[in-house]
């Protein structure tokens, strides 16, 4: 265990690192913009070219903010799930929330090709991909909450969540088999993930949802610390297991579901960052882990996005592929080291 002074110093360092990664992210891209002009834009001062101002304010900064929100949300979601199930391989999507969002998008994009004429155009005209993903996540969340009220065993809830994921994946496969190649390609592109499509209004809404999820996560900190000792011991400490489980599930669903709805399914961030944070801070205390995991998630997501946009090139790589390339070695490294996980 580290001293309070050491923790404060560590948080100052990673906060500065987050700011540095943010500035680095918005400084790199297909258009070369001097750092001085970027700082002027951020501070609201005049820049040499108006086009630079537009690129920074309407594309790069929104994308960087989206990356931070995504990394923060998925990392906290992974931490909550790993603690609730006391399973180092649990991630933010273990309850099938991502699969529900994927099913909603698949029905929106590919389901329309199974309909004809007015019915298909009506669906396309009234819904958007984000709304479809949100509805899909909400349906799965509702099912999980109902199941959680009937099942007392946490591990049984984990297995049921995985089964929900398998069912939704099967339905998506059936839709993919019958749809045309244009619709299938559109769905595949969504599954790659994209941080750069959000407007400022969408970012404000996403930020609001993330803040709600984070507040619920902070409220759950005491329960999370007691659950590390096992449900029986947590119950003896006065923890209401069923209520705590509901709160953690809802927080995870809001965090992971909102991000998936807006940017698509992002892999490995929620699985790798909580382990990385535990290794660096070497503590099971969620009063430290929750804020540290949120910051590290934002840092790692900014780094992945910076790599994905191939600085100096007009091309960019799928963000989902980059997070997997970066996240998978982290998980492998942690397992090879065989250090004792705190569960």
pLDDT of residue 279: 84
Note whether 66 and 198 are within 8 A (CB): yes
**Range of weakest confidence among 31-35, 120-124, 330-334:** 120-124
If one compares 237 and 163, the residue with the highest pLDDT of the two is: 163
Distance CA 196, CA 67 (A): 9
Confidence at residue 295, expressed as pLDDT on a 0 to 100 scale:
95
State the pLDDT confidence band at 282, using cuts at 50, 70 and 90: confident
Question: 90, 82 in Cβ contact below 8 A?
Answer: yes
Q: What is the pLDDT of residue 73?
A: 94
Task: Say which DSSP state 224 is in.
Answer: H
Distance from C-alpha of 256 to C-alpha of 76, rounded to nearest angstrom: 9
**Using one digit for the tens of pLDDT, what is the confidence trace for 149-159?**
777 777 777 88
- What is the reported pTM? 0.86
User: Which domains, and CATH codes, for the chain?
Assistant: 4-337 (1.10.3470.10)
- Angle 4-27/61-85 helices, nearest 10 degrees? 140
Identify which has the larger pLDDT, 295 or 129: 295
The pLDDT-based confidence of 29 (bands split at 50, 70, 90) is confident
> Is 243 buried (19+), middle (13-18) or exposed (0-12) by CB count in 10 A?
exposed
**pLDDT band at 301; cut points 50, 70, 90:** very high
Mean pLDDT computed over 44-73 = 86
Report the alpha-carbon distance of residue 194 to residue 320 in Å, rounded: 8
Convert the pLDDT of each residue in 99-136 to its tens digit.
Answer: 888 888 888 888 755 544 444 444 443 346 777 888 88
- Rounded to a whole number, what is the distance in angstroms from the first to the last CA of the chain? 16
The highest-confidence range among 91-95, 121-125, 176-180, 312-316, by mean pLDDT, is 176-180
Residues 229-253, mean pLDDT to the nearest whole number:
83
Q: Is 302 exposed, middle or buried (0-12, 13-18, 19+ CB in 10 A)?
A: buried
192-234 pLDDT, tens digit each: 888 887 888 889 989 999 999 999 999 999 988 888 887 777 7
**325: Cα within 13 Å, side-chain hemisphere:** 11
pLDDT (average), residues 176-184: 83
In this prediction, residue 2 carries a pLDDT of 64
């Amino acid at each position: 265990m580290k001293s309070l002074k050491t923790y404060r110093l560590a948080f100052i360092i990673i906060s500065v690192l987050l700011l540095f990664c943010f500035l680095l992210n918005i400084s790199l891209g297909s258009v070369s913009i001097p750092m001085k002009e970027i700082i002027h834009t951020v501070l609201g001062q005049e820049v040499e070219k108006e086009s630079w101002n537009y690129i920074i304010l309407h594309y790069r900064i929104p994308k960087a903010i989206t990356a931070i929100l995504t990394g923060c949300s998925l990392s906290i979601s992974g931490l909550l799930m790993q603690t609730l199930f006391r399973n180092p391989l649990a991630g933010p999507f273990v309850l099938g929330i991502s699969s529900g969002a994927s099913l909603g998008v698949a029905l929106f994009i590919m389901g329309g090709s199974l309909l004809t004429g007015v019915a298909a155009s009506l669906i396309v005209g009234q819904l958007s991909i984000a709304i479809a993903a949100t509805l899909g996540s909400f349906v799965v969340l509702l099912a999980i909450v109902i199941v959680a009220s009937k099942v007392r065993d946490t591990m049984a809830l984990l297995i049921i969540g995985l089964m929900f994921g398998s069912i939704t994946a099967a339905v998506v496969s059936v839709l993919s088999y019958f749809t045309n190649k244009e619709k299938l390609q559109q769905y595949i592109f969504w599954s790659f993930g994209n941080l750069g499509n959000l407007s400022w209004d969408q970012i404000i809404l996403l930020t609001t949802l993330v803040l709600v999820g984070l507040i619920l996560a902070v409220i759950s900190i005491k329960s999370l610390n007691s659950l590390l000792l096992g449900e029986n011991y947590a119950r003896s400490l006065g923890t209401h297991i069923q209520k705590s489980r509901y709160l953690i599930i809802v927080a995870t669903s809001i965090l992971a579901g909102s991000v998936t709805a807006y940017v698509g399914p992002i892999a490995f961030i929620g699985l790798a960052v909580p382990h990385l944070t535990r290794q660096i801070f070497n503590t099971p205390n969620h009063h430290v882990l929750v804020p540290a995991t949120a910051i590290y998630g934002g840092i790692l997501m900014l780094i992945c996005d910076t790599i994905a946009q191939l600085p100096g090139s007009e091309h960019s790589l799928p963000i989902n592929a980059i997070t997997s390339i970066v996240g998978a070695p982290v998980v492998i490294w942690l397992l090879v080291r065989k250090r004792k996980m705190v569960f």
